[in-house]
Amino acid sequence: MSPDPKSQVTIFDTTLRDGELALPVKLSIQQKLQFAQQLEAMCVDVIEVGYPGAYRNDSDALFMVSKRVKRAIVCGLAGSKLDEIASVAIALKPTLQGRINIFTSTNSPDASPLDQAQTLDIIRESVSLARNYRDDVQWTAFDATRSQPDFLCRAIETAVRSGATTISLADSLGVASPPTFAQLLESVTNRVPNIEQARIAVHCHDDLGFALENSLLALEYGIRQIECSVNGLGARKGNANLANVVQAIQRDSHYTVNTDLTLLDRSFEFG
């Protein structure tokens, strides 16, 4: 009997978006292009390039990367505002493999039923619009770990029904311990009726030192995309470290990744 095939894990690099927040000076477009090409050479699956809806230079950088990077999926971040989604879509035009990543905060502890309904409408409208531009749409539940579980599940169900092909659960402030994070993952995977229609991702911050542990823990719950960054760069204490994530997966007999760490060297350092 042949051994069970390994499950493929998607590596989503956010160094050029979240990671840049940790740098004293924003990168030039040429630096971003060079960095993205190095990530592509490493066979990183998804490369997130900035927040075009908020920063004009990010729009230009995403456009340039979209023209030059061919093997990896090129991704841009947008809020739920329709003009931000359009900005990402325009910048992604040169690439065949483009992804729009929309984020919506799901942490509204004092929200009334009407407020929650309005948020669900926003998710529905923004994801549906993004699908008019691209088949590959990610919806990120910002601050998912501090959200009401019932509402989070409804929001995810709405995003999937509206066309999201990837759902990302973000521990945006890095507040979740492994037991708390496991409880969230179990709730989502068991309670969202259409959850199997999308790839599930995690985006973990390291404020409490659990970004790597939580990211790897997620694999046990069927999560197949981990968002990380080179050297763990990111807001505050940073993100899960790309090298540590890949090395840990490579040591596990149940999973496999495309990423080749032999090309991860000093050329990736920012100075």
According to the model, what pLDDT value does residue 3 have? Answer: 47
SS3 229: strand
Percent of the residues in the chain that have a pLDDT greater than 70, as a whole number: 96
DSSP state of 31: H
Name the token pair of 117. Answer: 């309904």
Residue 268 has pLDDT above 70, yes or no: no
Q: Residue 79 pLDDT more than 60?
A: yes
Assess if residue 158 is contained within a domain. Answer: yes
Q: Which tokens belong to 123?
A: 């998710």
pLDDT band for position 1 (50/70/90)? very low
- The answer to whether residue 176 is domain-embedded is yes
Residue 141 token pair: 């539940």
- Percent of the chain scoring above 90 in pLDDT: 89
In a domain, 1, yes or no: no
Listed residue (44, 43, 40, 85) closest to 67, CA to CA? 40
Residue 48 in domain: yes
> Looking at residue 119, what is its pLDDT?
96
Pairwise CA distance, residues 80 & 100, whole Å: 11
In a domain? residue 2: no
CA dihedral 149, 15, 85, 130 (to 10 degrees): -70
Strands (E), the chain: 7-8, 10-13, 46-48, 73-78, 98-105, 137-142, 166-171, 199-204, 225-228, 255-256
Domains of the chain: total: 1
| Domain assignment of residue 42, yes or no | yes
Please check whether residue 157 lies inside any domain of the structure. Answer: yes
* Per-residue pLDDT at 36 exceeds 90: yes
How many CA atoms lie within 13 Å of 9's alpha carbon, on the beta-carbon side? 31
Q: Domain limits at 113?
A: 7-268
Would you state the structure tokens that stand for residue 43, as one six-digit string?
């066979």
Q: What is the pLDDT of residues 176-210, one digit of tens each?
A: 999 999 999 999 999 999 999 999 999 999 999 99
For residue 141, is pLDDT > 90? yes
Other C-beta atoms lying within 10 Å of the C-beta of residue 71: 11
Q: What is the pLDDT of residue 264?
A: 85
Q: Please indicate, yes or no, if residue 241 is contained in any of the structural domains.
A: yes
| Mean pLDDT over each residue of the chain, to the nearest integer | 94
In angstroms, rounded to a whole number, what is the distance separating the alpha carbons of residues 129 and 227?
24
CB-based contact 76:48 (threshold 8 Å): yes
Residue 31 to residue 33: CA distance in whole angstroms: 5
Q: What is the mean pLDDT of residues 13-22?
A: 96
Domain holding 209: CATH number?
3.20.20.70
Helix (H, G, I), strand (E, B) or coil at 89: helix
The contacts of residue 163 (CB under 8 Å, 6+ apart) are 127, 128, 130, 131, 137
Which H, E and C letters describe 110-134, residue by residue? Answer: CCCHHHHHHHHHHHHHHHHHHHHHC
List, for residues 203-256, the tens digit of each pLDDT value: 999 999 999 999 999 999 999 999 999 999 999 999 999 999 999 999 999 999
111 vs 151: which has the higher pLDDT: 151
